[in-house]
Amino acid sequence: MENSPVRTERIERVLELRRQRPRSWFLRVSWLIALAMIAWAWASSGPLLGRLSAERRRQNFLNFCGELVPSPVQKSGNWLEAFPWAWELLAEDGFIALLITVGIATAAIILAGAFVLPLLPLASRQLARPGPFGVWPGRGGRIGRIWWRLIGPATRFGFVLCRAIPEYLIAFLLLSLIGAHRGTGEFRYENAWPLVLALAIHNLGILGRLWGEVVENADGAAPTHGIASGGSRSGVYATRVLPAGFNRFLIYFFYRWETCVKDATVLGMLGLLTLGKLIALSKGFFWDEMFFYILLGSAVILVGDLFSTYLRKRLR
């Protein structure tokens, strides 16, 4: 142990360092707000479990669970009868709805990606500025300078707006504007555009953010070299930034695809096309069929999840 005067000095020094240490009031205030809001959320919710008595609720719950069991099994008690019943549901509407769901999700995410790719350099902090990557931009070009100062934040804000609106809302609104059906008489079919557009717009914002982060965090050496040898922003973006980030782009792309399938399922509840439509139709009358369709959608997503995980391992 050190002797006393040295120790006292040390204690003082440590206390001084402690006083100086970096503190973030922003984080503290945020933390407090979050806790306060959580407490308020629980306290102000009124009767948490609703107005029914515990006994009624338990009864409702058991009844409901009973209804979920496939109807042939309910009657005969034999679970093997579930298979032909499930097969019929699949063959009639289920399988097609499933394909449509996946189709809508796929079309939407591809659209989103295709439109994000050219917009991405406009949202990048390094590329969308008067002198990309900090390079001297040269003299003059006042309008050009203003453009480059504004386009970055504007594009990023555009992405924020796109992802701020829930896709269900966009679809809901678009349906009433674009209309759910096309064609007449025999050739009448359901228009998939409202759903595809809704998903595409929403995911435009999300991919813009996710892919944008890949671009921001990427190593600046290669693109700077591109500029140094006379390249333009688009040239450098296409030939150096994109190839470098390609794998991570794919990872995010498939992750969003998976979410799109889930969302596409539910968008059908607006009344058309996907598994959601079947779910909404059978709700209230055929709980067992509804449950089957729910599990069907779930199974597809689980498979997609496994595929995604496998892909991520290969792309790392």
Task: Tokens 């992405």: give the residue.
Answer: 159
Nearer to other proteins, 78 or 186 (CB): 186
Least Å distance between CB 54 and other proteins?
11
What is the spatial distance between Cα 103 and Cα 199, in angstroms, rounded to a whole number? Answer: 12
Residue 168 interacts with other proteins (CB under 8 A): yes or no = yes
Least Å distance between CB 271 and other proteins?
12
- E strand or H helix that includes residue 181: strand 181-182
- Residue choice 12, 178, 225, 310 for contact with other proteins (CB under 8 A): 178
Residue 218 interacts with other proteins (CB under 8 A): yes or no = no
Contact region with other proteins (CB under 8 A), list: 14-22, 71-79, 82-90, 146-154: 14-22
Range list of H helices, the chain: 4-20, 25-43, 54-68, 71-76, 82-89, 95-123, 142-164, 167-178, 193-217, 221-228, 233-236, 242-267, 275-282, 287-315
- Residue choice 185, 230, 285, 313 for contact with other proteins (CB under 8 A): 230
Nearest to 312 by CA among 243, 260, 262, 247: 247
- Residue choice 83, 84, 150, 232 for contact with other proteins (CB under 8 A): 232
Q: Exposed, middle or buried by CB within 10 Å (0-12, 13-18, 19+), for 110? A: middle
What is the spatial distance between Cα 108 and Cα 289, in angstroms, rounded to a whole number? Answer: 28
Nearer to other proteins, 41 or 80 (CB): 41
Look up residue 180 and give its two tokens.
Answer: 């759910």
Residues within window 17-46 making contact with other proteins, judged by CB under 8 A: 17-18, 20-22, 24, 26-27, 30, 34, 37-38, 40-42, 44-46
Contact string 123-162 vs other proteins (x = CB under 8 A): --xx------xx--xx---------------------xx-
What is the spatial distance between Cα 197 and Cα 167, in angstroms, rounded to a whole number? Answer: 9
- Residue choice 12, 92, 216, 219 for contact with other proteins (CB under 8 A): 216
Least Å distance between CB 30 and other proteins?
6
Least Å distance between CB 78 and other proteins?
25
Residue 60 interacts with other proteins (CB under 8 A): yes or no = yes
Please state, in angstroms and as integers, the Cα–Cα distance from residue 152 to each residue in 40, 80, 145, 146, 218, following that order.
Answer: 38, 61, 12, 11, 17
Strand 189-190 and strand 181-182: pairing? antiparallel
Q: Map residue 182 onto helix, strand or coil.
A: strand
Residue 100 interacts with other proteins (CB under 8 A): yes or no = yes
Residues within window 181-200 making contact with other proteins, judged by CB under 8 A: 182, 189, 191-193, 196-197
Contact region with other proteins (CB under 8 A), list: 69-77, 85-93, 145-153, 259-267: 259-267
Give the residues across from 290 on adjacent strands. Answer: none
Contact region with other proteins (CB under 8 A), list: 75-83, 87-95, 109-117, 147-155: 109-117
Residue 302 interacts with other proteins (CB under 8 A): yes or no = yes
